[in-house]
A and B are shown apart, each in its own frame.
Chain A
Amino acid sequence: MSRREADSGPSKITGEPINGALPKDSPVFAEPWQAEAFAMVVALNERGMFSWSEWADALSAEVKSSNAAPDGSDYYDCWLRALENLLAAKGVAGGNEIDALAAAWHRAAHATPHGKPILLENDPEWDSRS
């Protein structure tokens, strides 16, 4: 058994040249929201909101849907959508509620000075809702 010598073209799986080098490790999460989405699922599973099998089914449905990117680059997009679907199915949070709050976070970000932490209270429409 040996590692193979130089070969032609990059691997479709690893994206690395097929030259026997180990695939480079990328960071676990590409963006902070991915880490947040990941951790929310772990936390909700631990408190018993859903079993890990339920979660695997929900994630699998998103990963296999026709909306998913063929190269898997949107894995955490699928992850977040699967979480939204599960929360809707459990009656915890509906799509409209999430849409409204996401819009509020957008407005809050927009209204926050560069370099300052983005707080939901910075949403100009915040007072009217709370």
Chain B
Amino acid sequence: MRASAARPRFRRMPHDHDHYHDNELDPMAARAKALETILTQKGLIDPAAIDAIVETYETKIGPRNGAKVVAKAWSDPAYAERLKKDATAAIASLGFTGRQGEHMQAVFNIADTHNLLVCTLCSCYPWSVLGLPPVWYKSPPYRSKAVIDPRGVLAEFGVSLPAETKIRVWDSTAELRYLVVPMRPNGTEGWSEERLAELVTRDSMIGTGLALEPQAA
């Protein structure tokens, strides 16, 4: 879909003229159009490529990629080991590569340590495996509170961990982004990777959630 074909906010005038005063572009939309025009005229962007990028991120890249990585790590110890040592390569081996040349690090939840991701700088996020970040990930309350009070953040997401569980907060950067590998739920012995992937939510890979229990999936 061509997202850049302006979808104006229609504003009906209170009285009808015989000329048209129907369309209004909102100010940010007009500025985006202006930038796109300038960059296209200068040969710096290709509108078709812009559309392709939008379509990719709207429909093709999302947390299902990350869920496949986690499910494979759960069921294949050799893959889990590779993911631990060189996440960038292990993730790329499944066909998921970052567009900005960023490195990936997988952080594994274990019985006494839970991992939580944030980007205090802006909104760096493991796009290749999780798609684009949810709105709350980009919000100042999350960005500040995740560092100051991670346990309180988890409570807001409905997650409570035993008091003795350590919470490690990982601050993403433009060059290094993290993926949380949640703990595999009990009662999933012998499950296929496909079935396991259904238990892996986006939030469980950010650390604001846990993998689903088998009965909840």
B-binding residues in A (CB < 8 A): 1-4, 7, 11-15, 18-23, 25-26, 28-29, 31-33, 35-40, 42-47, 49, 51-53, 55-56, 59-60, 63, 68, 70-72, 75-77, 80, 83-84, 87, 92-93, 97-106, 109-114, 117-118, 120
Q: How far is the CA of A99 from the CA of B57 in the complex (A)?
A: 29
B201 touches A22 (CB 8 A): yes
B158 touches A18 (CB 8 A): yes
Q: How far is the CA of A43 from the CA of B54 in the complex (A)?
A: 10
Beyond A3-B160, A22-B158, A28-B132, 11 additional contacts (C-beta under 8 Å) are A13-B139, A22-B201, A38-B132, A52-B100, A84-B31, A93-B39, A104-B34, A105-B6, A106-B30, A117-B5, A117-B6
B33 touches A32 (CB 8 A): no
Chain B residues near A83 (CB-CB < 8 A) = 35
How close is B96's CB to chain A, nearest CB, in angstroms? 16
Known: A101-B37, A109-B30. A39 touches B141 (CB 8 A): no
B20 touches A53 (CB 8 A): no
CB-CB nearest in chain B for A28: B132
Asked if B92 lies at the interface with its beta carbon under 8 angstroms from chain A, I say no
Stretch at the interface among B21-29, B67-75, B76-84, B187-195: B21-29
A102 touches which one: B8, B10, B33, B100 (CB < 8 A)?
Answer: B33
Asked if B58 lies at the interface with its beta carbon under 8 angstroms from chain A, I say yes
B45 touches A43 (CB 8 A): yes
Tell me the B124-145 residues at the A interface (CB within 8 Å).
124, 131-132, 134-136, 138-142, 145
Chain B residues near A46 (CB-CB < 8 A) = 99
Chain A residues near B121 (CB-CB < 8 A) = 56, 60
Known: A18-B158, A102-B30. A29 touches B45 (CB 8 A): no
B35 touches A110 (CB 8 A): no
How close is A35's CB to chain B, nearest CB, in angstroms? 4
CB-CB nearest in chain A for B145: A13
A77 touches B28 (CB 8 A): yes
B32 touches A22 (CB 8 A): no
